[in-house]
């Protein structure tokens, strides 16, 4: 099969690879669409010691199942494989299972013509759902999970809250779209890349500004701050943008280290929420929201052939992409 292989730092190679390894309980999926994630970019930059080349990246995928009880069905993958047996899995928090594995990390990923996955990690989708939209299920679920955790502790309905989203990549944009879908109408979004700011504005879900040149319009007065970058500078920005009693949701994983103002967090009772991935329920709800177009028409997604994946990584690396998300499709499916 053809695959896009991460072969070295800042290098991905489109080449022939053996068919995916099928472990007990796995089935092969013929990939229809697979998206490039920020975490794939992190690996590409050589910053993820868990993703070692040569490796097929990619975990945001939709396709057609080739064998087993779902043979022939269009489905999406829950790329996070948890044990199903531990305390966390059994209490509905499979996302923090200590035994979890992810495809495109230790296991072969989905930026290929085929991918292998545990049958129990397949999720049903409407059979007429656009496969490119279906490939957005996983990042949407990440944003939805973060918003769901906020809703659980929010002191007022989200529709009454003023929100700041930091970062206009896919998770930031989807975060703003989910907040809007939940009735939130006052959303600002901080993004340094002008092309991305423009594509956020086109979705009419948030007012975008450049945090390098401008302060957040309502500095110190945000009920909710969603940090979709997760760097020291954005933690500093989150700490000062949030209002007393507000909530900071830390979603991004750019790098660890300091940034939070622990004194302000304590004195002003600010809640800091960590969010990691999603549960089965978040994925199912995301499929529904994407299918019903509750997150807009999704025309900010750019589709390219798998063979042009190297250029896509390079364009993302150089900030030349307005799209919040690039989805790659096997060449025979791109017209
Ligand atoms: Zn992802
Ligand atoms: Zn577990």
Write the pLDDT tens digit of every residue in 15-67. Answer: 999 999 999 999 999 999 999 998 899 999 998 888 999 999 999 999 999 99
Domain for residue 283, yes or no? no
Quick: pLDDT tens for 221-252: 999 999 999 999 999 999 999 999 999 999 99
How close is the Cα of 41 to the center of ligand 2, in Å?
A: 27
Q: What CATH number corresponds to the domain at position 28?
A: 3.90.180.10
Task: Please report, rounded to a whole number, the percentage of residues in the chain having pLDDT higher than 90.
Answer: 89
Q: Whose atoms come closest to the Cα of 93: which ligand?
A: 2
Domain for residue 27, yes or no? yes
How close is the Cα of 216 to the center of ligand 1, in Å?
A: 27
Domain that holds residue 305: 2-136+298-333
pTM, two decimal places? 0.95
What helix, strand, coil percent values describe the chain, rounded to 5? Answer: 30, 25, 40
Residue 145 in this model has a pLDDT that exceeds 90: yes
Domain for residue 263, yes or no? yes
Domain for residue 292, yes or no? no
pLDDT at 159: 95
Q: Whose atoms come closest to the Cα of 170: which ligand?
A: 1
How close is the Cα of 296 to the center of ligand 2, in Å?
A: 35
Task: Please count the other Cβ atoms lying within 10 Å of the Cβ belonging to residue 273.
Answer: 17
In sequence order, what are the residues at sequence separation of 6 or more whose Cβ sits closer than 8 angstroms to the Cβ of residue 204?
none
Question: CA 171, CA 157: separation in Å to the nearest integer?
Answer: 22
- pLDDT class of 269 with cuts at 50, 70, 90: very high
Domain for residue 290, yes or no? no
- Residues 150, 62, single domain; the answer is no
Question: CA 227, CA 217: separation in Å to the nearest integer?
Answer: 16
Domain for residue 285, yes or no? no
How close is the Cα of 264 to the center of ligand 1, in Å?
A: 32
- Residues 95, 181, single domain; the answer is no
Distances (CA, A) of 115 to 106, 132, 176, 218: 13, 16, 31, 46
Q: Whose atoms come closest to the Cα of 278: which ligand?
A: 1
- pLDDT class of 253 with cuts at 50, 70, 90: confident
- Residues 7, 132, single domain; the answer is yes
Question: CA 162, CA 174: separation in Å to the nearest integer?
Answer: 17
How close is the Cα of 38 to the center of ligand 1, in Å?
A: 7
**Element housing 263 (H / E):** helix 262-267
- Residues 258, 315, single domain; the answer is no
Domain for residue 18, yes or no? yes
pLDDT at 201: 93
- pLDDT class of 322 with cuts at 50, 70, 90: confident
How close is the Cα of 104 to the center of ligand 1, in Å?
A: 10
- pLDDT class of 118 with cuts at 50, 70, 90: very high
How close is the Cα of 101 to the center of ligand 2, in Å?
A: 10
Quick: pLDDT tens for 175-232: 999 999 999 999 999 999 999 999 899 999 999 999 999 999 999 999 999 999 999 9
Residue 323 in this model has a pLDDT that exceeds 90: no
- Stretch 117-141: mean pLDDT, rounded? 97
Angle, vertex CA 264, rays to CA 260 and CA 267, nearest 5: 140
Q: How many domains does the chain have?
A: 2
Task: Please report, rounded to a whole number, the percentage of residues in the chain having pLDDT higher than 70.
Answer: 100
Residue 324 in this model has a pLDDT that exceeds 90: no
Domain for residue 280, yes or no? no
- Residues 24, 126, single domain; the answer is yes
- Residues 199, 317, single domain; the answer is no
């Amino acid at each position: 099969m053809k695959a896009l292989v991460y072969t070295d730092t800042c290098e991905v190679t489109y080449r022939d690879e053996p068919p995916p390894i099928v472990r007990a309980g796995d089935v092969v999926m013929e990939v229809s669409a697979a998206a490039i994630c920020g975490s794939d970019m992190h690996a590409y930059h050589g910053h993820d010691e868990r993703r070692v080349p040569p490796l097929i990246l990619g975990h945001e995928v939709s396709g057609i199942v080739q064998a087993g009880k779902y043979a022939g069905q269009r489905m999406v993958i829950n790329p996070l494989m948890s044990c199903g047996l531990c305390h966390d899995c059994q209490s509905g928090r499979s996302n923090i299972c200590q035994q979890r594995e992810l495809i495109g990390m230790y296991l072969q990923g989905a930026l290929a013509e085929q991918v292998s996955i545990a049958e129990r990690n397949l999720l049903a989708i409407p059979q007429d759902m656009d496969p490119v939209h279906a490939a957005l299920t996983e990042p949407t679920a990440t944003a939805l999970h973060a918003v769901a955790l906020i809703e659980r502790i929010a002191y007022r309905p989200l529709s009454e809250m003023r929100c700041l989203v930091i970062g206009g990549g896919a998770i930031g944009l989807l975060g703003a779209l989910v907040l809007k879908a939940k009735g939130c109408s006052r959303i600002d979004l901080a993004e340094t890349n002008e092309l991305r700011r423009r594509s956020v504005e086109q979705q009419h879900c948030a007012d975008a500004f450049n945090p390098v040149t401008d302060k957040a319009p309502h500095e110190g007065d945000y009920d909710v701050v969603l940090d979709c970058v997760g760097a020291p500078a954005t933690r500093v920005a989150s700490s000062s943008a949030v209002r007393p009693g507000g909530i900071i949701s830390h979603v991004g994983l750019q790098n660890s280290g300091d940034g939070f103002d622990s004194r302000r967090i304590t004195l002003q009772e600010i809640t800091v929420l960590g969010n990691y991935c999603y549960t089965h329920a978040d994925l199912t709800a995301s499929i529904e929201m994407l299918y019903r177009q509750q997150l807009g028409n999704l025309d900010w997604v750019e589709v390219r052939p798998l063979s042009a994946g190297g250029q896509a990584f390079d364009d993302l690396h150089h900030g030349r992409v307005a799209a919040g998300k690039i989805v790659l499709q096997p060449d025979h499916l791109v017209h």
